[in-house]
Amino acid sequence: MERVLTRVEGEGKVLVKVKEGNVIDVEIQITEAPRFFEYIVRGKHINNVVEIVSRVCGLCGVSYMLTATRAFEKCLKIDVPQEVEELRRIIHLAERVKSHVIHVFLLNLPDFLEMPNSFRLGAVNSAMLRNSMKLLTLAANIMDILGGRMHNVVNIKIGGVYKPPSESDAVKIVKLIKDAIELFKPLADFVLSLKNIPEEKLAKPLMILHGNGYPHVSDEIAFYNSENAEIFDVQNFENVLDVMQRHGKTALLYKYKGQSYIVGPFARFNTSYDKLHGEARDFVSSYGWKPPLKDVRQQIIARVAEILDSLLTLRDFFQNYKPFEIYSPRIEPGKADKLRCVAAVEAPRGILYHRYDIDEKLKVLHCNIITPTAQNILAMEELSQEKLRMLGRAAEHEAAKLTERIVRAFDPCISCSVHVLSSKY
Partner 1 sequence: MLRGFEVKTLAIIKLASCSGCLNQVVRALASEEKLLNFYNIVLFDEITERLEMPKKIDLLLIEGSTVTREQEEVVKKFREISDFVVAMGTCAVQGGVQALRIGDDVEKVKAYVYPNPEHIDVNKDVKPVDNVISVDMFIPGCPVNHEAIASLLKKFVSEGLPIAIPESVCSECKRKGIVCVMVAYGIPCLGPITIGGCGAICPSFGRGCYGCFGLKDFDLDNSKLKMFAQQLKDLGMDNDRFEQTVKAYSWKTWSKYQNVYHR
List contacts with partner 1 (CB under 8 A).
4-11, 32-36, 38-40, 42, 44-45, 47-48, 51-52, 55-59, 61, 102, 106-107, 110, 116-119, 122, 130, 133-134, 136-137, 140, 148-152, 154-155, 157, 162-163, 245, 247-250, 326, 415, 419, 421, 423-424
With beta carbons less than 8 A apart as the criterion, state whether 364 and 241 touch: no
Write down how long the chain is: 425
Minimum distance from residue 321 beta carbon to partner 1 (Å)? 17
Q: How far is residue 219's CA from residue 117's CA, in Å, rounded to a whole number?
A: 39
The pair phi, psi for residue 346, each rounded to 5°, is: -80, 95
Q: How far is residue 332's CA from residue 329's CA, in Å, rounded to a whole number?
A: 9
Across the chain, which distance is largest between two alpha carbons, in Å? 69
Residue 26 or 46: which CB sits closer to partner 1? Answer: 46
Residue 138 or 208: which CB sits closer to partner 1? Answer: 138
Cα 237 to chain centroid, rounded: 18
Residue 161 or 296: which CB sits closer to partner 1? Answer: 161
Nearest to 253 by CA among 344, 382, 411, 410: 382
Minimum distance from residue 151 beta carbon to partner 1 (Å)? 4
* Single-letter residue type at 166: S
DSSP 416: H
Cα dist. 96→30, 212, 216, 302 in Å? Answer: 24, 19, 10, 12
User: Is-cis flag, bond preceding 110, omega within 30?
Assistant: no
With beta carbons less than 8 A apart as the criterion, state whether 88 and 65 touch: no
Q: Residue 94 class from Cβ within 10 Å (0-12 exposed, 13-18 middle, 19+ buried)?
A: buried
